[in-house]
Amino acid sequence: MLFLIFAVTVRILSNSMANVYQKKLAAFGYNPSFINFVMYLGLSIFLCPLMLRQDYSGFGAAFWLFASVGGLCGALGNSYLVKALKKGELSVLGPINAYKSVVAMIIGIFLLKEIPSLFGVFAVALIVVGSYFVFDTQDEGFSFKLLKRADIRYRIYALVFTAVEALCIKNVINESDIVISFIFWCVFGMLFTGLLSVKSGNINIFKNIRTVRYFALVVLFMGLMQITTNYVFSKMQVGYGLALFQLSALVSVVLGWKYFKETNIIKKLFGTVIMVIGAVIITLLRV
């Protein structure tokens, strides 16, 4: 149990720290898909000894389907996330992840005929109220005008793709184990982000020693994030894991203030706490 708590903590912190350095690299003008391609490539090179020791002949069609779809969704989700980080504030984009649970609830209504309970409706209300405080710090305020902003739209796209990716990862783990799942997350992610970044410019990672260090830190933190995610998913249902991961929104708000001098942090933290509570309630009700 203690190691599981440690893994959840590492996952929450490493995810937010990876976002910090992805945002820094995007500020240098790197294409988001290329940033993630370098990340997947670095991890794949590091995992080469493990890759060579595995037997891949016994996996069925379901494994390859979930691994490839998960890789594609991960590549798209991470690329949209970096696009959002490039244009927007970390302290605003982080809390938006709470809406992932609302998306899951809506999908459940139409596809699974799951009617939300009063607790579910209350939780959605909490997310909406919390997001009011977060978005009210923006020029557009809490309004549909926010959807016209590219950073908000990209963050929503990332939210949807990474939600599908999480389900695929869980299925890949069920078909294999956390190490195999990690390997294929890296390999398929590298393949798809490579294809996405073919037409991108500015692929010189050696602009200066600072950018090289930032790329190395993205590789490190994303590697820690994914292996701990896999471990958590192997020990509990995806819903519980995603509920715990919501805490990264709070870390993102603090890091936005610390690294990028983003303002109105107290108001954003207050709204984020409310959103996280709502997201956790929805997620746990679905487990």
Give alpha helix (H) positions in 117-177: 118-135, 150-175
Written as one letter, the residue type at 38 is V
pLDDT per residue rounded down to tens, the chain (287 residues) = 788 889 999 999 999 999 999 999 999 888 898 999 999 999 999 999 988 888 888 888 999 999 999 999 999 999 999 999 999 999 999 888 778 777 766 766 765 566 777 887 788 888 888 888 888 888 777 777 888 899 999 999 998 898 888 888 888 998 888 999 999 999 999 999 998 887 665 566 667 889 999 999 999 999 999 999 889 888 877 667 777 788 888 999 999 999 999 999 999 999 999 988 887 887 676 55
Residue 138 to residue 141: CA distance in whole angstroms = 5
Residue 244 to residue 240: CA distance in whole angstroms = 6
**How many angstroms separate the most distant Cα atoms in the chain?**
55
* Residue 166 CA, distance from chain mean position: 9
Residue 276 to residue 256: CA distance in whole angstroms = 17
Residue 282 near residue 124 (C-beta atoms within 8 A) = yes
Exposed, middle or buried by CB within 10 Å (0-12, 13-18, 19+), for 85? buried
Cα atoms in the Cβ-side hemisphere of radius 13 Å centred on 228: 22
Task: Spell out the residues 6+ positions from residue 60 whose beta carbon is closer than 8 angstroms to its own.
Answer: 175
Written as one letter, the residue type at 33 is S
Our CA dihedral for 29, 184, 8, 101, rounded to 10 degrees, sits at 80
Task: Spell out the residues 6+ positions from residue 104 whose beta carbon is closer than 8 angstroms to its own.
Answer: 163, 282, 283, 286
For residue 97, give the DSSP letter.
G
Residue 60 to residue 272: CA distance in whole angstroms = 42
Tell which residue, 4, 2, 22, 17, has the closest CA to residue 158: 22
The number of beta carbons lying within 10 Å of the beta carbon of residue 212 is 12
The number of beta carbons lying within 10 Å of the beta carbon of residue 195 is 13
Six-digit token pair at 62? 């379901």
Tell which residue, 148, 141, 157, 29, has the closest CA to residue 84: 157
Tell which residue, 192, 184, 165, has the closest CA to residue 56: 184
